[in-house]
Structure 1
Amino acid sequence: MTREPTVLAVDFGAWTPDDWSAAATVATAVLTLFTVAIAVAAALYARQQVTLARQLREDQAQPFVVVDFADNPVWNKAIDFVVENMGQTLAKNVKIKVDPPFQTTMDDSGHALGSSPLLTQAIPSLPPGKRIIALFDVSHDRHAAGLPMKYTATVEFEDAHGKPQEPLTYILDLSIRYSLLSITEYRTHDAAKALREISKTLKETRSDLKGEFYRRRQVESADGSIVPE
Structure 2
Amino acid sequence: MTSESMLLAVDFGAWTSEDWSAASAVATALLTLFTVAIALAAALYARQQVTLARQLREEQAQPFVVVDIQDNPVWRQAFDFVIENMGQTLAKNVKIKIDPPLTSTLDSDGYPLQSTPLLTQGIPSLPPRKRITALFDVGADRREAGLPMKYTATVEFEDAHGRPQEPLTYILDLSIRYSLLSMTEYGVHDAAKALREMSKTLKETRRDLNQERQRQRAIQRAIDELGSTEPTGTE
2:77: which partner in 1? 77
User: Larger deviation: 194-203 or 128-137?
Assistant: 194-203
Query: 1:7 is aligned with what amino acid?
Result: S
- Provide the TM-score with structure 2 as the length reference: 0.81
Distance in 2 between residues matched to 1:144 and 1:191, nearest whole Å: 30
1:131: which partner in 2? 131
1:175: which partner in 2? 175
User: How far apart are 1:199 and its partner, in Å?
Assistant: 3.7
Query: 2:90 is aligned with what amino acid?
Result: L
Distance in 2 between residues matched to 1:142 and 1:190, nearest whole Å: 28
User: How far apart are 1:133 and its partner, in Å?
Assistant: 0.4
Taking only the aligned residue pairs, the percentage that are identical comes to: 69
1:31: which partner in 2? 31
Helix, strand or coil at the partner of 2:20:
helix
2:196: which partner in 1? 195
Query: 1:23 is aligned with what amino acid?
Result: A
Distance in 1 between residues matched to 2:135 and 2:198, nearest whole Å: 25
Alignment of 1:28-67 (within 5 A): 28-67=28-67
User: How far apart are 1:22 and its partner, in Å?
Assistant: 1.1
Alignment of 1:111-130 (within 5 A): 111-130=111-130
Distance in 1 between residues matched to 2:185 and 2:142, nearest whole Å: 21
* Segments of 4+ moved more than 4 angstroms: 200-207
Larger radius of gyration: 2
Alpha-carbon displacement from aligned partner over 1:128-181 (angstroms, at most 9, x marks no partner): 110000000011111111111111111111110001111111111111111012
2:10: which partner in 1? 10
Alignment of 1:78-93 (within 5 A): 78-93=78-93
Gaps of 5+ in 2: 227-235
Helix, strand or coil at the partner of 2:5:
coil
User: How far apart are 1:33 and its partner, in Å?
Assistant: 0.7
Helix, strand or coil at the partner of 1:69:
strand
User: How far apart are 1:205 and its partner, in Å?
Assistant: 8.7
Alpha-carbon displacement from aligned partner over 1:38-72 (angstroms, at most 9, x marks no partner): 01000000000000000111111111111111111
Contact between 1:76 and 1:185, CA under 8 Å: does it hold in 2? no
- Provide the TM-score with structure 1 as the length reference: 0.83
User: How far apart are 1:185 and its partner, in Å?
Assistant: 4.1
Contact between 1:105 and 1:142, CA under 8 Å: does it hold in 2? yes
1:21: which partner in 2? 21
